[in-house]
């Protein structure tokens, strides 16, 4: 029986926070999650900390600042999926009956901390960096399906408009389609405003058993599904989707099965818009539309708060910024706020009851691997 | 019911292996573990990769080289305990019934790869580095108990003599007490030969359920206990042991309880001799002798293969080298070899039936935290 509940969530303001240690950002998020849950921090039995750049035993350093010590603490890394991976392990630890209450934390500091290259990333060293990879995916999608540069820009327009309503977001100014298209070209067709920014931030999620949730005495959000996958090697000759596409398709289908629902049931989603095209691809791959029809959702404004499937109401990675390890946890914070009706100016007109988070990380084009994590939550 | 078995182990030669990517070292260890188990690699359901310096999604990159793709893969970091933490999670995944077969991998490349400092390590920046911390612990032990610089040197003498018999060890030349004491002073009383060397290496452990072990059709080693803890904050004024000492004492007591045995039952152990004093402290803290009497074990040669409790028959970190993420897994490889009677020239005269591995990592003196992992195995 998969019986896991979100007891509390916390997030610190994202952005340039070079005046703080990354541990302080993490502790700020943990304190917020503990306060949100109303639970005595001494009842937390284990902690999982997702980060990509915070150095050795970073989770232990955060917990020491947050007045939590002695509990099993595990630092996890899965590139942009690190924070979601931490939540996945925390959910497993509760679901297996091992722990009553577990903490998942995601964090990173990229504007002043050390952000080193992976030694064996010869592709990146040769210029095939992430913006370039996403640009190629955009080009391919545009040649195969109906997608224009204006549609891509409109993803940013929506996310920046929503980010302006999110106190935790890095970028809080709305932009117009014209401004997006006129911003500096990074990797054609992606302009600067269509690329997420390296930034600093942290988010935390406390999960617990049904008993712990009942005792907490506030609306607990249930975790219906938590699925983590890595990519499957697939050469171009095998046909079908490959890389990030295959990975998101497979992971989300497993999550829908675990949750006992389908993509048509999802009422709100936070997806991996590291670049504007990322949101388009995610909508396709998560099954929110037929393959190749994501641009239609953009044109119909279906993904705005007033639409049939609001996406990235937090402002997404494009507004919040993308401290690698923090993102997967920050997405969950937004969905939990929305399901509890506590999203402030961003709250959907009709409070959603079923939400999804999706992130992918480190997809390696040559070997077709990387990681993807999908969670589904119910109010 | 805790029912977890080691199906196979693998290790690559440790040392300066700058001619290879760290991923290649990892894949070499995984290939060896798969071959050792006789199991089809397509039956591995999940993988946990412990490392401290290998960059983003390193485990996924290793698996791609080893022809394994599509399975959930999680990279974990807990400083020197990273490899053991990976095994801990793999054991949990099997024990909970989630997976039939899981892979734990530990690896690092430190002689050519990127070994960056942790940004917030202000103590290290001021000179309170690891050798200094261990030297202070040695000084304190020498002032409180009966321990001489000759005893400390003799730890290295034993471990280098055993390392000379281990094809996977970095240093394969025996040394005399005089040579150890005459080697360059690093942090008094610790000379160069009493300090482990940063190095390159990888080790892998395949674990599975009772069913998987039975089907494998070879002597399976059972995992009786797998305990991971982080430190408890304790000021000097609280009295009693603190830091690494408290952590090892607490973790090992939990492991003995899980295994249903005591320290007196252990017949062989691999302990965290990052520095010679580390082995002395470990013997005290693991309960192998009364507090303060570890030097007596050294003088009686009780920890040599012919003694009553052989310790670090692999040569330990002092001989094998200490690629942070690899160590915790490499220790397990040695114990499994010994329990199966396959340790070659290092095989104990009487094959042991109960063995223990112990490593600690990242103990932070100011906040008294860090991590420790203890595993107990039975033939």
Q: Contact B371/B78 with Cβ under 8 angstroms?
A: yes
- Is B49 in the active site? no
CB atoms within 10 A of CB A237: 5
Q: Which of B35, B43, B38, B41 is nearest to B11 (CA)?
A: B35
Please report the pLDDT score of residue B4 as a whole number: 98
Q: Which of B191, B190, B199, B206 is nearest to B137 (CA)?
A: B190
Distance (Å, whole) CA B6 – CA B40:
15
Q: One of A12, A80, A372, A373 is an active-site residue; which one?
A: A80
A136 CB-contact burial (10 Å; exposed 0-12 / middle 13-18 / buried 19+): middle
Q: Is B251 on the interface with A (CB under 8 A)?
A: no
Give the dihedral sign, CA A153/A157/A163/A164. positive
CA distance A77 to chain B (A): 5
Q: Which of B312, B345, B348, B344 is nearest to B330 (CA)?
A: B312
The pLDDT > 70 percentage for chain B reads 96
Q: Contact B88/B371 with Cβ under 8 angstroms?
A: no
Please report the pLDDT score of residue A112 as a whole number: 84
Contact A56 B79 (CB under 8 A): yes
Chain B residues within an 8 Å CB radius of A73:
78, 230, 369, 371
Please list, in sequence order, all residues whose beta carbon lies within 8 angstroms of the beta carbon of residue B129, skipping any fewer than 6 positions away: none
Which residue of chain A has the CA closest to B243? A70
Please report the pLDDT score of residue A129 as a whole number: 84
Q: Which of B127, B143, B366 is nearest to B236 (CA)?
A: B366
Q: Contact A121/B55 with Cβ under 8 angstroms?
A: yes
Determine the average pLDDT of the residues in B21-45.
Answer: 96
Q: Contact A165/A345 with Cβ under 8 angstroms?
A: yes
Determine the average pLDDT of the residues in A60-80.
Answer: 94
CA distance B124 to chain A (A): 13
Q: Which residue has the higher pLDDT, B233 or A376?
A: A376
A122 pLDDT more than 90: no
Contact B78 A77 (CB under 8 A): no
Q: Which contiguous run of DSSP H or E holds residue B200?
A: strand B200-208
Query: Which tokens in the block code for residue B29?
Result: 């260890």
For all residues of chain B together, what is the average pLDDT? Answer: 94
Which of B56, B85, B89 has its CB closest to that of A77? B56
Q: One of B80, B359, B372, B373 is an active-site residue; which one?
A: B80
B351 pLDDT more than 80: yes
Q: Is A118 on the interface with B (CB under 8 A)?
A: yes
| Residue pairs between chains A and B whose CB atoms are closer than 8 Å | 184
**Least confident piece of the model among A178-187, B145-154, B211-220:** B211-220
Please report the pLDDT score of residue A2 as a whole number: 83
Q: What is the pLDDT of residues A301-357, one digit of tens each?
A: 999 999 999 999 999 999 999 999 999 999 999 999 999 999 999 999 999 999 999
Please list, in sequence order, all residues whose beta carbon lies within 8 angstroms of the beta carbon of residue A27, skipping any fewer than 6 positions away: A62, A65, A66
For all residues of chain A together, what is the average pLDDT? Answer: 94
Angle at the Cα of A189 from the Cα atoms of A129 and A183, rounded to 5 degrees: 95
Contact A118 B58 (CB under 8 A): yes
- Alpha-carbon torsion angle B137, B143, B145, B148, nearest 10: 80
Name the pTM for this structure: 0.96
Determine the average pLDDT of the residues in A172-184.
Answer: 98
Q: Contact B10/B101 with Cβ under 8 angstroms?
A: no
Please report the pLDDT score of residue B168 as a whole number: 98
Where residue A236 falls among pLDDT bands split at 50, 70, 90? low
The pLDDT > 70 percentage for chain A reads 96
Contact B120 A367 (CB under 8 A): no
3-state secondary structure of A133: helix
Q: Is B98 on the interface with A (CB under 8 A)?
A: yes
Q: Is A217 on the interface with B (CB under 8 A)?
A: no
Please report the pLDDT score of residue A254 as a whole number: 98
Please report the pLDDT score of residue A250 as a whole number: 94
Please list, in sequence order, all residues whose beta carbon lies within 8 angstroms of the beta carbon of residue B262, skipping any fewer than 6 positions away: B256, B287
Contact A56 B52 (CB under 8 A): yes
Return the axis-axis angle of helices A58-65 and A22-37, rounded to nearest 10°: 60
For an interface test with B, which of A230, A247, A248, A322 has the most B Cβ atoms less than 10 Å from its Cβ?
A230
Contact B119 A22 (CB under 8 A): yes
B317 pLDDT more than 80: yes
Query: Which tokens in the block code for residue A102?
Result: 């577990």
DSSP string, B15-52: B--TTS-HHHHHHHHHHHHHHHHT--GGG--EEEEE-S
Determine the average pLDDT of the residues in B103-125.
Answer: 82
Q: Is B120 on the interface with A (CB under 8 A)?
A: yes
For an interface test with A, which of B46, B57, B65, B85 has the most A Cβ atoms less than 10 Å from its Cβ?
B57
Which of B56, B72, B231 has its CB closest to that of A228? B72
Q: What is the pLDDT of residues B264-310, one digit of tens each?
A: 999 999 999 999 999 999 999 999 999 999 999 999 999 999 999 99
Chain A residues within an 8 Å CB radius of B250:
70
Which residue of chain B has the CA closest to A45? B229
Determine the average pLDDT of the residues in A163-176.
Answer: 98
Most confident listed range (A58-72, B231-245, B331-345):
B331-345
Where residue B193 falls among pLDDT bands split at 50, 70, 90? very high
DSSP-H helix ranges across chain B: 22-37, 58-65, 82-95, 122-125, 130-144, 149-163, 177-182, 210-216, 243-259, 276-285, 294-299, 316-320, 324-340
Which residue of chain A has the CA closest to B21? A120
CB atoms within 10 A of CB B351: 15
Determine the average pLDDT of the residues in A134-153.
Answer: 96
DSSP string, A37-89: HT--GGG--EEEEE-SSS-TTHHHHHHHHTT--SS-EEEEEBTBTHHHHHHHH
A61 pLDDT more than 60: yes
- Alpha-carbon torsion angle B341, B343, B344, B346, nearest 10: -120
Q: What is the pLDDT of residues A277-300, one digit of tens each?
A: 999 999 999 999 999 999 999 999
Chain A residues within an 8 Å CB radius of B98:
92, 96
Q: Is A315 on the interface with B (CB under 8 A)?
A: no
**Least confident piece of the model among B14-28, B67-81, B363-377:** B363-377
Chain B residues within an 8 Å CB radius of A231:
60, 69-70
For an interface test with B, which of A46, A77, A231 has the most B Cβ atoms less than 10 Å from its Cβ?
A77
Where residue A113 falls among pLDDT bands split at 50, 70, 90? low
CA distance A220 to chain B (A): 25
**Which B residues 144-203 touch A at CB under 8 Å?**
none
Chain A residues within an 8 Å CB radius of B109:
119
Which of B70, B109, B121 has its CB closest to that of A230? B70
Distance (Å, whole) CA A269 – CA A331:
9
Phi and psi for B145 in degrees, rounded to 5? -130, -175
Contact A56 B56 (CB under 8 A): no
Q: Is B76 on the interface with A (CB under 8 A)?
A: yes
Where residue B364 falls among pLDDT bands split at 50, 70, 90? low
For an interface test with A, which of B41, B74, B225 has the most A Cβ atoms less than 10 Å from its Cβ?
B74
């Amino acid at each position: 029986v998969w019986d896991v509940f979100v007891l509390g969530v916390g997030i610190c303001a994202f952005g340039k926070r070079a005046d703080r240690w990354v541990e302080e950002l993490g502790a700020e998020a943990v304190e917020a999650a503990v306060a949100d849950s109303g639970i005595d921090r001494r009842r937390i039995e284990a902690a999982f900390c997702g980060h990509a750049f915070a150095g050795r035993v970073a989770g232990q350093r955060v917990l020491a600042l947050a007045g939590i010590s002695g509990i099993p603490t595990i630092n996890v890394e899965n590139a942009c999926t690190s924070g979601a991976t931490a939540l996945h392990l925390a959910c497993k630890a509760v679901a297996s009956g091992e722990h009553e209450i577990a903490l998942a934390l995601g964090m990173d500091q990229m504007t002043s901390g050390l952000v080193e290259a992976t030694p064996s990333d010869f592709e990146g060293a040769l210029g095939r960096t992430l913006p370039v990879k996403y640009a190629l995916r955009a080009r391919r999608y545009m040649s195969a399906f109906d997608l224009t540069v204006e549609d891509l820009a409109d993803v940013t327009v929506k996310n920046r408009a929503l980010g302006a309503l999110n106190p935790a977001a890095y970028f809080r100014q709305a932009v117009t389609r014209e401004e997006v298209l006129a911003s500096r070209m990074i990797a054609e067709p992606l302009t600067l405003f269509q690329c997420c920014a390296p930034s600093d931030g942290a988010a935390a999620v406390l999960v617990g058993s049904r008993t712990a949730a009942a005792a907490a005495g506030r609306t607990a959000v249930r975790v219906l599904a938590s699925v983590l996958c890595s990519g499957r090697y697939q050469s171009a000759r095998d046909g079908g989707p490959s890389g990030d596409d295959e990975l998101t398709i497979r992971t989300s289908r497993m999550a829908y099965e675990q949750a006992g629902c389908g993509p048509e049931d999802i009422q709100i989603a936070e997806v991996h818009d590291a670049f504007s095209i990322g949101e388009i691809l995610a909508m396709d791959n998560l099954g929110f539309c037929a393959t190749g029809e994501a641009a239609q959702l953009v044109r119909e404004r279906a993904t705005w708060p007033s639409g049939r499937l609001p996406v990235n109401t937090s402002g997404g990675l494009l507004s919040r910024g993308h401290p690698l390890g923090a993102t997967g946890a920050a997405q969950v914070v937004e969905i939990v706020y929305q399901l509890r009706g506590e999203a402030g100016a961003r709250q959907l007109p009709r409070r959603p009851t079923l939400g999804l988070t999706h992130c992918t990380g480190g997809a390696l084009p040559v070997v077709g691997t990387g990681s993807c994590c999908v969670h589904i939550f119910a109010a």
